[in-house]
């Protein structure tokens, strides 16, 4: 490829370490387990993998409440285990991406423990503190996404502190240059250990409005009633206009190292403007993803066209990334595949993923077609799920352990009962069962990822939509003289449209056909015109 940026169009596999594989026998996955199974990750054909937090933490939010940015929680192993993981990954040609949580810490972090002691200490302004209103109520009306107020009273300082998530996750004050400096030192620590990039968690929450203005109420379709957070427009508690200056400081550090990737998670209700702002030009982040697909209850033509059309490839524009599943969203095999055509849909969705312009993030188990597990209330671990029961089932159903062996105890994940139960229907989808089946979803993903690697048009080419009938999504991917046609019937009835005599490179729902002769429901193909 003429394009030498390894990350542009890359396929990144997300590892959720608690649920990947347990080698210590405590029912929780660990770094040694990831290292042990990196051959499997490499066999998928991916460019690298992203590891969710493994840092010391009270685990109130399962690692996203960081108590020490520069170490490994004993639950997952040691720094030596992390170094071994990086070394093995690089031996296999895999890039290593790790989470960086810059918007908040744990309330057990040494920075916060010092900050809360008084209003005059050296770190007094490292977090977001504010006085009570005259009646003792919080400084404003901001709400946490966790279904609780965004302010908690602290008796030591006689002030409230801000938290966009749990009360145990106080927000850092990124307006403070000393806080920025400290986080840049954290980045350097991991870059020196050989990581190839960072995924910036909830970075849009990193800066608040210093005037602490009330959020306005959400109106119309934007208003949700399941929790107070969705009854407001998140205008002032996050997404401050000065945040890109912090990203530019981070990029300056990253550019002193070779081939580093930064990807921002942008969970804002209106992510596109922020994603483009955070990745604009060459001085900010490389790429970003939002929840366009992750939060969509159904897959249809309009969703894909509206989402992809926001990234036309204009000069100075950043590069998008897309995830259909992750540790925070219900698995796509349940959200978009609810009917009897489940298997056909899973295969077509896999075909669509590799065809989209942008980086592809593949969540562990997605390559197996795992469905969302149903976790009874008494076994829930996720604080969001517990706080919002029964209106939201939480995130546990997407975080259950990987099934490695269909007939083994606990599906080969651990020698003892795992931290979350393994879904019964996941056993038939275990890795060993799918390895034996050449037509399995696992082997389809390997085939499709290989196709993407072989064709620069899929990896980094332009995307242009074609006019097609209702429910038929069609576009071309073009790069340096190669044009591929990508056609998907996303409807429940057959369609006869096609762009010409196409020779398939890959298909779903079409059997062994090599030419277009009609599109059954939930079928599609990637191919080239026969005369090209």
Say whether pLDDT at 517 is over 80: no
Say whether pLDDT at 438 is over 90: yes
Model confidence pLDDT, tens digit, residues 178-210? 999 999 999 999 999 999 999 999 999 999 999
Region 406-434 average pLDDT? 97
Say whether pLDDT at 340 is over 60: no
Rounded distance between C-alpha atoms, residue 23 and residue 208, angstroms: 41
Q: Who wins on pLDDT, 354 or 516?
A: 354
Model confidence pLDDT, tens digit, residues 126-173? 999 999 999 999 999 999 998 899 999 999 999 999 999 999 999 999
- Residue 430 near residue 405 (C-beta atoms within 8 A): yes
Say whether pLDDT at 510 is over 90: no
- Average pLDDT value over all residues in the chain: 94
* Distance in angstroms between the alpha carbons of the first and the last residue of the chain: 20
The catalytically annotated residue of 154, 265, 366, 396 is 265
**Beta bridge mates, 286:** none
Region 67-77 average pLDDT? 98
Contacts of 152 (CB under 8 A, 6+ apart): 160, 161, 163, 167
Model confidence pLDDT, tens digit, residues 372-416? 999 999 999 998 888 878 776 689 999 999 999 999 999 999 999
Q: What is the CA radius of gyration of the chain?
A: 23
Q: Who wins on pLDDT, 3 or 6?
A: 6
Residues listed for the chain = 532
Take residue 235 and report the two structure tokens written for it. 């205008």
Region 25-36 average pLDDT? 98
Model confidence pLDDT, tens digit, residues 210-250? 999 999 999 988 898 788 999 999 999 999 999 999 999 99
Residue 329 DSSP SS3: strand
Can you point out the beta strands (E) in 91-210? 95-100, 129-130, 151-154, 159-162, 197-200
Rounded distance between C-alpha atoms, residue 524 and residue 516, angstroms: 9
Give phi and psi for 463, each to the nearest 5.
Answer: -125, 130
Q: What is the pLDDT of residue 12?
A: 98
Q: What is the pLDDT of residue 321?
A: 98
Q: What is the pLDDT of residue 3?
A: 54
Take residue 46 and report the two structure tokens written for it. 């991916």
Rounded distance between C-alpha atoms, residue 515 and residue 527, angstroms: 9
Say whether pLDDT at 41 is over 60: yes
Is there a catalytic annotation at residue 4? no
Share of the chain above pLDDT 70, in %: 97
Indicate the pLDDT class of residue 347, thresholds 50, 70 and 90: very high
Q: Write down the pTM of the prediction.
A: 0.96
Q: What is the pLDDT of residue 225?
A: 79
390: preceding bond cis by omega (within 30 degrees) = yes
- Residue 526 near residue 350 (C-beta atoms within 8 A): no
Model confidence pLDDT, tens digit, residues 50-64? 999 999 999 999 999
Helices (H), 106-233: 110-115, 177-192
What's the longest Cα–Cα distance across the chain? 77
| CB count in 10 Å sphere of residue 130 | 16
Is there a catalytic annotation at residue 531? no
Say whether pLDDT at 514 is over 70: no
Sign of the alpha-carbon torsion through 393, 17, 362, 104: positive
Rounded distance between C-alpha atoms, residue 12 and residue 28, angstroms: 23
The catalytically annotated residue of 73, 171, 201, 367 is 201
Rounded distance between C-alpha atoms, residue 128 and residue 161, angstroms: 6
Model confidence pLDDT, tens digit, residues 462-482? 999 999 999 999 999 999 999
Sketch out the chain's domains with CATH numbers.
11-103+177-449 (3.20.20.80), 462-529 (2.60.40.1180)
Between 62-76, 114-128, 492-506, 511-525, the lowest mean confidence (pLDDT) is in: 511-525
Nearest one of 10, 2, 1, 3 to 261, comparing CA atoms: 10
């Amino acid at each position: 490829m003429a394009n030498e940026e390894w990350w542009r169009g890359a396929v990144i596999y997300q590892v959720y370490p608690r649920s990947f594989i347990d080698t210590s026998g405590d029912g929780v996955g660990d770094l040694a387990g990831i290292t042990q199974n990196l051959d499997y990750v490499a066999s998928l054909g991916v460019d690298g993998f992203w590891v969710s937090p493994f840092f010391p933490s009270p685990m109130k939010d399962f690692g996203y409440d960081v108590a020490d940015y520069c170490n490994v929680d004993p639950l997952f192993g040691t720094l030596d285990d992390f170094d071994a993981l990086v070394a093995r990954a690089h031996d296999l040609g895999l890039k290593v991406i790790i989470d960086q949580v810059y918007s908040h810490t744990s309330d057990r972090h040494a920075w916060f423990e010092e900050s809360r002691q008084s209003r005059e200490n050296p770190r007094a302004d490292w977090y977001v503190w504010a006085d009570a209103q005259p009646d003792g109520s919080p400084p404003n009306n901001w709400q946490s996404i966790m279904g609780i107020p965004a302010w908690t009273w602290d008796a030591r300082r006689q002030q409230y502190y801000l938290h966009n998530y749990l009360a145990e996750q106080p927000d850092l004050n990124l307006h403070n240059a000393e806080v920025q400096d400290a986080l840049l030192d954290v980045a350097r620590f991991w870059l020196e250990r050989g990581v190839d990039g960072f995924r910036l968690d909830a970075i849009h929450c990193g800066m608040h409005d210093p005037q602490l203005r009330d959020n306005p109420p959400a109106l119309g379709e934007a208003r949700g009633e399941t929790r107070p957070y969705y009854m407001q427009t998140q205008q002032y508690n996050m997404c401050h206009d000065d945040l890109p200056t912090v990203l530019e400081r981070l990029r300056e550090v990253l550019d002193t190292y070779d081939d580093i990737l930064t990807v921002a998670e942008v969970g804002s209700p209106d992510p596109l403007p922020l994603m483009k702002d955070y990745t604009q030009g060459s001085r900010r982040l490389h790429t970003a993803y939002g929840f366009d697909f992750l939060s969509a209850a159904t897959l249809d033509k309009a969703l894909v066209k509206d989402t992809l059309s926001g990234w036309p490839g204009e000069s100075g524009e950043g590069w998008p990334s897309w995830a259909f599943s992750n540790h925070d969203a219900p698995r796509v095999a349940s959200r978009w595949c609810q009917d009897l055509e489940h298997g056909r849909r899973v295969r077509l969705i896999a075909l669509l993923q590799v065809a989209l312009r942008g980086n592809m993030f593949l969540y562990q188990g997605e390559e197996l077609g795992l469905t969302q597990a149903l976790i009874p209330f008494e076994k829930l671990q996720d604080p969001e799920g517990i706080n919002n029961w029964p209106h939201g089932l939480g995130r546990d159903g997407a975080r259950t352990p990987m099934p490695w062996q269909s007939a083994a105890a606990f599906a080969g994940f651990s020698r003892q009962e795992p931290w979350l139960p393994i879904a019964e229907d996941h056993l038939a989808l275990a890795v060993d069962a799918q390895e034996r089946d050449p037509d399995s979803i696992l082997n389809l993903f390997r085939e499709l990822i290989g196709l993407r690697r072989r064709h620069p048009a899929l990896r980094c080419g332009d995307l242009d939509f074609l006019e097609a009938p209702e429910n038929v999504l069609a576009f071309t991917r073009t790069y340096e003289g190669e044009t591929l046609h990508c056609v998907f019937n996303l409807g429940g009835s057959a369609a006869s449209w096609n762009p010409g005599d196409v020779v398939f490179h890959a298909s779903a729902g079409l059997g062994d056909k090599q030419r277009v002769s009609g599109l059954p429901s939930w079928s599609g193909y990637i191919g080239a015109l026969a005369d090209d």
